[in-house]
């Protein structure tokens, strides 16, 4: 691992853990404070709705400036914001309105930070090591998802919400310090025109997407995948319950999903592999077949095995698709295009949740999952037929 990647990974892991701890603790604190899930839902909406609006413009800003500096600034801003929140809670001045405003601002800062990460990573490693670098970042995300909930609930009990907010603030500030020491030549700065208006930059990105069939089809498949797999997020508890299974089965399914993702990211972070269109297509076909078998069975052991496979194929797809897009997109356009992909993905989530939640009143969850599996398999076949140049 080179020095730049080590600094990037160290900073990322610290801030990811801090964020997960805060998210879990905040959700529990909100519910225990208000006795209502409505506030939890409101804060969830405020954490992704601003990203839908801001992302397309954020990508243009990311492409016009140093991506490393953008990451540093966004981490420090988030750290300062949470430090202010800590002081408000410490002096018993924290209100729901203030918490909501901070959540919205953090979502806006995330909209600048995330495309900067995806755009900078290819500049930190050689082309042949890009899959490993993306796998490492995904591994850190998966570890934070596993450690965060356990630490969040424990720390909320031990140090209270103020302590949790302080930990999150420090995690962002530490991450920003690590990123300051990254030394990288950002060649995209020589190719971008700061004279053009922002809407012209967005238009040029859309025209480029339309002109490169692989990128266009991949974004379309990502959109379809996010929409249909939303059914699994919303309807899994109902599906498990209707099969007469206990909450233990539901919890184990979620653990198997994380476990599958964790194992495959660890392997891909340590073994040198190359991403390809055929592999990407097979990832989605495997994902779809695992969902199909899951929908058809009532045996919880087979359900566990399928969710483990879903975790593997889902993670393989995520790693390979980001790698291929990083290679296919010109370096001066990465921020814009990754931001547009984020905007599409985020905007489909509430639509998917609402649609499948409504549909489940009329259609069996198993039938909805089978439809999801067919959509994934079709997406895999469609991607595997594309030509990749990158």
Lowest mean pLDDT, pick from 35-39, 90-94, 215-219, 223-227? 35-39
State the pLDDT at residue 36: 66
Q: Tell me, yes or no, whether 174 and 257 share the same domain.
A: no
How large is the average pLDDT for residues 76-87?
95
Helices (DSSP H) in the chain: which residue ranges? 3-34, 37-64, 67-90, 96-124, 130-180, 198-211, 213-242, 247-270, 277-296, 300-328, 334-359, 365-384
Examine residue 193 and state whether it is found in any structural domain, yes or no: no
State the pLDDT at residue 292: 98
Tell which of 179, 209, 230 closes a domain: 179
The DSSP annotation for 374-386 comes to HHHHHHHHHHHTS
Q: Tell me, yes or no, whether 357 and 211 share the same domain.
A: yes
- Tell me which H or E stretch contains 35: none
Q: Tell me, yes or no, whether 20 and 103 share the same domain.
A: yes
Q: Is the pLDDT of residue 282 over 70?
A: yes
Q: Is the pLDDT of residue 83 over 90?
A: yes
Examine residue 259 and state whether it is found in any structural domain, yes or no: yes
Q: Tell me, yes or no, whether 120 and 254 share the same domain.
A: no
How large is the average pLDDT for residues 194-208?
80
Examine residue 39 and state whether it is found in any structural domain, yes or no: yes
State the pLDDT at residue 32: 75
Q: How far is the C-alpha of 140 from the C-alpha of 129, rounded, in Å?
A: 17
State the pLDDT at residue 178: 95
Q: Tell me, yes or no, whether 298 and 345 share the same domain.
A: yes
State the pLDDT at residue 113: 93
When mean pLDDT is compared over 43-52, 86-95, 180-189, 302-311, the highest value belongs to 302-311
Q: What is the pTM of this model?
A: 0.85
Q: How far is the C-alpha of 166 from the C-alpha of 151, rounded, in Å?
A: 14
How large is the average pLDDT for residues 129-153?
87
State the pLDDT at residue 389: 67
Q: Tell me, yes or no, whether 88 and 228 share the same domain.
A: no
How large is the average pLDDT for residues 99-118?
91
CATH of the domain at 225: 1.20.1250.20
Examine residue 240 and state whether it is found in any structural domain, yes or no: yes
How large is the average pLDDT for residues 336-344?
89
Q: Tell me, yes or no, whether 163 and 302 share the same domain.
A: no
Mean pLDDT across the chain, nearest whole number? Answer: 89
Examine residue 72 and state whether it is found in any structural domain, yes or no: yes
* Cα angle for residues 140, 146, 149 (degrees, 5° grid): 120
Quickly state the pLDDT bin for 223 (edges 50, 70, 90): very high
Q: Tell me, yes or no, whether 231 and 321 share the same domain.
A: yes
Q: Give the range of the structural domain holding residue 271, as residue numbers without chain letter.
A: 199-384
Q: Tell me, yes or no, whether 114 and 207 share the same domain.
A: no
Percent of the chain exceeding pLDDT 90 equals 53
How large is the average pLDDT for residues 93-107?
90
Q: Tell me, yes or no, whether 86 and 146 share the same domain.
A: yes
Q: Is the pLDDT of residue 221 over 90?
A: yes
Radius of gyration of the chain (CA): 21
Residue 70's Cα: distance from chain center in Å? Answer: 19
Tell which of 179, 209, 228 closes a domain: 179
Examine residue 162 and state whether it is found in any structural domain, yes or no: yes
Examine residue 329 and state whether it is found in any structural domain, yes or no: yes
Examine residue 70 and state whether it is found in any structural domain, yes or no: yes
Q: Is the pLDDT of residue 21 over 90?
A: no
Quickly state the pLDDT bin for 1 (edges 50, 70, 90): low
How large is the average pLDDT for residues 137-150?
84
Q: Is the pLDDT of residue 271 over 90?
A: no
pLDDT in tens, 293-338: 999 999 999 999 999 999 999 999 999 999 999 999 988 889 999 9
Number of domains in the chain: 2
Q: Tell me, yes or no, whether 147 and 265 share the same domain.
A: no
128, burial (CB in 10 Å: exposed 0-12, middle 13-18, buried 19+) = exposed
Tell which of 114, 147, 179 closes a domain: 179
Q: Tell me, yes or no, whether 81 and 33 share the same domain.
A: yes
pLDDT in tens, 362-389: 999 999 999 999 999 999 999 999 987 6
pLDDT in tens, 235-248: 998 899 888 888 78
């Amino acid at each position: 691992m080179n020095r730049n990647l080590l600094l990037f990974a160290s900073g990322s892991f610290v801030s990811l853990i801090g964020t997960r701890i805060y998210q879990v603790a905040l959700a529990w604190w909100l519910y225990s404070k208000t006795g209502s899930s409505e506030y939890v839902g409101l804060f969830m909406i405020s954490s992704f709705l601003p990203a839908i609006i801001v992302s397309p413009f954020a990508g243009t800003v990311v492409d016009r400036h140093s991506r490393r500096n953008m990451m540093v600034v966004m981490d420090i801003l988030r750290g300062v914001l949470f430090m202010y929140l800590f002081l408000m809670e410490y002096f018993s001045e924290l209100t729901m309105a203030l918490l909501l405003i901070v959540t919205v601002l953090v979502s806006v800062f995330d909209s600048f930070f995330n495309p900067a990460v995806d755009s900078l990573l290819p500049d930190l490693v050689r082309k042949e090591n890009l899959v490993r670098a993306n796998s490492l970042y995904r591994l850190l995300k998966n570890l934070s998802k596993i450690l965060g909930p356990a630490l969040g609930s424990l720390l909320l009990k031990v140090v209270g919400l103020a302590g949790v907010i302080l930990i999150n603030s420090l995690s962002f500030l530490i991450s920003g310090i690590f990123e300051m020491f990254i030394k990288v030549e950002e060649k995209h700065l020589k190719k971008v025109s700061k004279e053009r208006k922002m809407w012209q930059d967005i238009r040029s990105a859309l025209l480029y997407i339309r002109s490169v069939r692989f990128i266009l089809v991949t974004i379309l498949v990502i959109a379809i995948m996010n929409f249909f797999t939303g059914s699994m997020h919303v309807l899994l508890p109902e599906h498990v319950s209707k099969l007469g299974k206990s909450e233990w089965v539901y919890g184990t399914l979620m653990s198997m999903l994380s476990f599958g993702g964790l194992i495959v990211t660890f392997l891909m972070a340590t073994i040198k592999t190359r991403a390809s269109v055929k592999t990407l297509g097979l990832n989605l076909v495997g994902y779809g077949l695992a969902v199909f078998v899951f929908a058809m069975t009532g045996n919880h052991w087979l359900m566990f095995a399928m969710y483990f496979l879903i975790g593997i194929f889902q993670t393989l797809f995520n790693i390979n698709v980001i790698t291929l897009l990083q290679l296919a997109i010109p370096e001066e356009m990465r921020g814009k295009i990754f931001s547009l992909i984020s905007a599409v993905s985020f905007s489909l989530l509430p639509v998917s949740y609402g649609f499948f939640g409504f549909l489940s009143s009329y259609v069996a969850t198993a039938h909805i999952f089978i439809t999801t599996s067919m959509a994934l398999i079709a997406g895999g076949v469609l991607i595997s037929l594309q030509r990749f140049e990158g």
